[in-house]
A and B are shown apart, each in its own frame.
Chain A
Amino acid sequence: MNDVLYLLLTLVAFALLAVLVGALDRYLDDPADRVDPTDPADQTAQTELATQGGAA
């Protein structure tokens, strides 16, 4: 019985770590964070996009 408990503890811990990996992956290339090129308040948006286009 106790064995199952610790096995579960291990599995849950690693599962959560795996979830963290997925979450960080999404966080690191979250398109919403990129500058919105249609936002008139941020003129550099176009510049940045152009930069990326130019660098590609």
Chain B
Amino acid sequence: MSTPTSTTTPTTTGTTGTTTGTGSSVLTVAQLAAALPGALRKLDPRELLATPVMLVVEIGAVATTVMSVLDPSTLGWLVTLWLWLTVVFGTLAESVAEGRGKAQAASLRELQTETPARRVRGSADQLTYTGNLTDLPTDEVPSTSLHAGDVVVVEAGERIPGDGDVVAGVASVDESAVTGESAPVIRESGGDRSAVTGGTVVLSDRIVVRVTSEPGQSFVDRMIALVEGSERQRTPNEIALNVLLSSLTVVFVVVCGSLYFLADYSGAHQSPLVLTALLVCLIPTTIGALLSAIGIAGMDRLVRRNVLAMSGRAVEAAGDVDVLLLDKTGTITYGNRQAAELLAVPGVTSAELAEAALLSSLADETPEGRSIVTLVGGAVATPPGATFVAFSASTRMSGLDLPGRTLRKGAGSAVAQWVHSTGSPAAHASVAAIEAHVQHVSESGGTPLVVAEQVGSDPARLLGVIHLKDVVKDGIRERFEELRAMGIRTVMITGDNAVTAAAIAQEAGVDDVLAEATPEDKLALIRREQQGGRMVAMCGDGTNDAPALAQADVGVAMNTGTTAAKEAGNMVDLDSDPTKLLDVVEIGKQLLITRGALTTFSVANDVAKYFAILPAMFVVAFPDLDVLNVMRLSSPESAIVSAVVFNALVIVALIPLALRGVAYRPASASALLQRNLLVYGVGGLIAPFLGIKLLDLVISHIPGL
């Protein structure tokens, strides 16, 4: 049994404002124009080394340029132009993806402007062990000179000079610049709400903060690096895919190289220009050009949902997650319990109990208290002379003192003790009735609140029980069913006892439950799952969550949480919404699917390109091969140019898809595969036939071809 807590988490919904309005995912011309200088800079071969496919295209473009200069022809210049465009489109995609993060980075940079900070003067020992830091003298220093371990004092209206933990005081802080959430949040020393972020502004009161980050390594610094993509490390899957694409490229280089000699033998000499065009069409340029853009955009999608991944590796791991550990409170149930029914003891009418419950809750501002008021029919005016008795950890009760009447509500044992202390016999019939109600409520997964009343100086009497119910979030059950279809198991973590936990678990439809969980239990559970080869994701905020967050493959720390938790996890959710974990998993999967789908599309395209180029190359020497010209392209030259142009344009056409990610609906592996194969495999087979034919209709009119 637990008592209602008086401090509540400020819950925010997942749809709170994004940090900066890098709004829609539609690609605009302005975006392209802005990205162009960056794209041109990326043409440096050293930059292209990371994507061998595009490097080969660039080498090809240089080669055809030289050939066209030495032996000018319309075909040569057209191929050259479009090969260069192919490379530029590739770098453009990456540049556009990066550009989306730039705006956000710019607004974050404003937080980094140097501010004066008041540093507490004292030796390291003093700062670590002295209790009353507020009394020590302070020096004014620039914020950039602060190091981990320094202690600063921040007052209302001042900007917090660096990341740190509040060591003394309470203050409301405006964190909107980082989180996008405009409502101020409370930061206080001790507990799980002690972390402050550099650059945020204290609105009221005064706090003492111990700085935890070195200059240049603050949370905002990391955010900037992440959204700009400057520190982007390629993820394991991306590297593996790059290897596969490179090996395909090598195969096609050998194919085209050997074709030169085989064609010579066959008396159908091919110019290096045409072979280069063929090569560029065959190598997987589509996916090669878009690969890094997909990765950057995936991170960006997380950022838009206010989740900061500390590495791309973590995002990818999210797609692989097999087990989700979810905290009951806030994730599965609304963070607060709500009054569901009133259970009176024999001899007390429902109306009596309702009145007592209402009065005792009138001044109770906790969500539980408000829900009681709502249940019994809404607020009434506070009776004159009433004094509100707030909940305290020692009494574990709250209530209302009226002249000649005292009302109390609280945990069963606490109220029983109070009643007993007023002289009421311990073995009263109402005690047994209360115990029966309390047990009933607990077994159904609820929390019982016992209400008692003392009139004058008579012994107090027990009135009844308020059934506070954990309310399972709407739609969470369906969400878990989707997860199950995706092969992901959900485990609910709760401090409740096994009976209560089981009841809620069943209502929410989770697969498993860890009741009366201690941090050690959590850690042990994660280790157990990982030993079985499963990948685990969890979210947490408290310092005691830190080991489990670090152990989990994907650990999402709440931004409201402690610095230790944020350091341990590999993602931070700025909205502090535990449900976000589900979004994170989906984004991880979408990232991988987008890569796979575009690879399939790219390879499938080659079939049509062969049908366009091979007859064009050999029809002069072997007229019979004209039957392979199924698209009936007008001339060999037009066919080659059409294939090259199509190859380049398809990159541009797919940039929005790469940035947005392919449509993703949770489903089983087989269902996903079937759908994506149909769209991107079969689509990739057919699309180029249509595209090349259409281009040929236009290109054949170019004079000189």
Q: Is A–B contact present in the complex under a CB 8 A cutoff?
A: yes
Contacts of B530 in A (CB 8 A): 51, 54-55
A40 to B551, CA, bound (A): 16
A43 to B314, CA, bound (A): 9
Task: Check A40 against B553 for contact (C-beta < 8 Å).
Answer: no
Q: Is B264 an interface residue (CB 8 A)?
A: no
Chain A 8-46 interface mask (CB, 8 Å, partner B; 1/0): 000000000000000000000000000000001111101
Q: How far is the CB of A34 from chain B (nearest CB, A)?
A: 12
Task: Check B233 against A41 for contact (C-beta < 8 Å).
Answer: yes
Task: Check A43 against B311 for contact (C-beta < 8 Å).
Answer: yes
Task: Check B552 against A42 for contact (C-beta < 8 Å).
Answer: no
Chain B 391-430 interface mask (CB, 8 Å, partner A; 1/0): 0000000000000000000000000000000000000000
Q: How far is the CB of A48 from chain B (nearest CB, A)?
A: 8
How many residues of chain A are within 8 Å of chain B by beta carbon?
11
How many residue pairs, one in A and one in B, have C-beta atoms under 8 Å apart? 42
Contacts of A42 in B (CB 8 A): 233, 310-311, 313
Task: Check B531 against A50 for contact (C-beta < 8 Å).
Answer: no
A49 to B642, CA, bound (A): 52
Contacts of B570 in A (CB 8 A): 43-44, 47
CB contacts under 8 Å to A, within B536-585, are 550-553, 555, 567, 569-570
Q: Is B451 an interface residue (CB 8 A)?
A: no
Q: Is B231 an interface residue (CB 8 A)?
A: yes
Contacts of A41 in B (CB 8 A): 231, 233, 310-311
Q: Is B527 an interface residue (CB 8 A)?
A: yes
A55 to B553, CA, bound (A): 13
Name B531's contact: one of A40, A43, A47, A55 (CB within 8 Å).
A55
Task: Check A54 against B527 for contact (C-beta < 8 Å).
Answer: yes
Q: Is the interface of A mostly helix, strand, loop or mixed?
A: helix
Task: Check A40 against B217 for contact (C-beta < 8 Å).
Answer: yes
How many residues of chain B are within 8 Å of chain A by beta carbon?
20
Chain B 6-29 interface mask (CB, 8 Å, partner A; 1/0): 000000000000000000000000
Q: Is B152 an interface residue (CB 8 A)?
A: no
Contacts of B217 in A (CB 8 A): 40
Q: Is B208 an interface residue (CB 8 A)?
A: no
Name A47's contact: one of B231, B233, B527, B553 (CB within 8 Å).
B553
A44 to B569, CA, bound (A): 8
Q: How far is the CB of A42 from chain B (nearest CB, A)?
A: 5
Q: Is B648 an interface residue (CB 8 A)?
A: no
A54 to B552, CA, bound (A): 11
Q: Is B613 an interface residue (CB 8 A)?
A: no
Given contacts A40-B217, A41-B233, A43-B570, contact A51 B553 (CB under 8 A): yes
Contacts of A40 in B (CB 8 A): 217
Contacts of B317 in A (CB 8 A): 44
Q: How far is the CB of A6 from chain B (nearest CB, A)?
A: 26
Contacts of B314 in A (CB 8 A): 43-44
A50 to B530, CA, bound (A): 11
CB contacts under 8 Å to A, within B623-639, are none
Q: Which chain A residue has the least Cβ–Cβ distance from B217?
A: A40
Q: How far is the CB of A32 from chain B (nearest CB, A)?
A: 14
Contacts of B231 in A (CB 8 A): 41
Q: Which chain A residue has the least Cβ–Cβ distance from B317?
A: A44
Q: How far is the CB of B520 from chain A (nearest CB, A)?
A: 13
Contacts of B552 in A (CB 8 A): 47
Q: How far is the CB of B299 from chain A (nearest CB, A)?
A: 13
Contacts of A46 in B (CB 8 A): 550
Q: How far is the CB of B218 from chain A (nearest CB, A)?
A: 12
Given contacts A41-B231, A44-B570, A55-B530, contact A50 B550 (CB under 8 A): yes
Task: Check B311 against A47 for contact (C-beta < 8 Å).
Answer: no
13 contacts between A and B (CB under 8 A): A41-B231, A42-B310, A42-B313, A43-B314, A43-B567, A44-B310, A44-B553, A44-B570, A46-B550, A47-B550, A47-B551, A47-B553, A54-B531
8 A-B pairs closest in CB distance: A43-B310, A54-B527, A43-B570, A44-B313, A42-B311, A44-B570, A50-B551, A55-B531
Q: Supply 17 further A-B pairs (C-beta < 8 A) apart from A42-B310, A42-B311, A42-B313.
A: A43-B570, A44-B310, A44-B311, A44-B313, A44-B314, A44-B553, A46-B550, A47-B552, A47-B555, A47-B570, A50-B550, A50-B551, A51-B530, A51-B553, A54-B526, A54-B527, A54-B530
